[in-house]
Structure 1
Amino acid sequence: MGLKTIWKDYKVLIVMGTSLGLVHWGWFYIKSSPIFQVKTEDFVPEPGIVAYVMQSDHKNKEK
């Protein structure tokens, strides 16, 4: 089984496997790039329902 036979029988597997590997490597490289990193603080915003319920409780306590 020579290289010509392997290439002929497994051409799609070789091309698609290499392409898939390179795409995943490129995506990982892009995601880890400092240009695309979001600078976040430790602040986690409250969901809207929590803020609404807290306002409702505050209004009910004033009455």
Structure 2
Amino acid sequence: MGLKTFWKSYKVLIVMGTGLGLVHWGWFHIKSSPIFQVKTEDFVIIDWYLSLHDVAWQKVEVQAM
């Protein structure tokens, strides 16, 4: 089997496999890039804000009863 017949027989698999590999490789690099990393401090601040919001809701519900 020559290279030409191999390419003709498996063209779709070669192109799709390469494309899928490149997409996953790019996704890995995007996910591991420090630009896109979320700091844990942001989560702490959001969690603190949401806990205050929940306390405010609880006070409103108690006053409404």
1:54 and 1:23 map into 2 onto residues whose CA distance is: 47
Equivalent residues, number: 59
User: Unpaired segments of 5 or more residues in structure 1?
Assistant: none
Question: Which segments of structure 1 move beyond 6 Å, counting only runs of 4 or more?
Answer: none
Aligned CA-pair RMSD: 2.6
TM-score, structure 1 as length reference = 0.67
**% identity of equivalent residues:** 63
Letter matched to residue 11 of structure 2: K
User: Unpaired segments of 5 or more residues in structure 2?
Assistant: none
Structure with more helix by fraction: 2
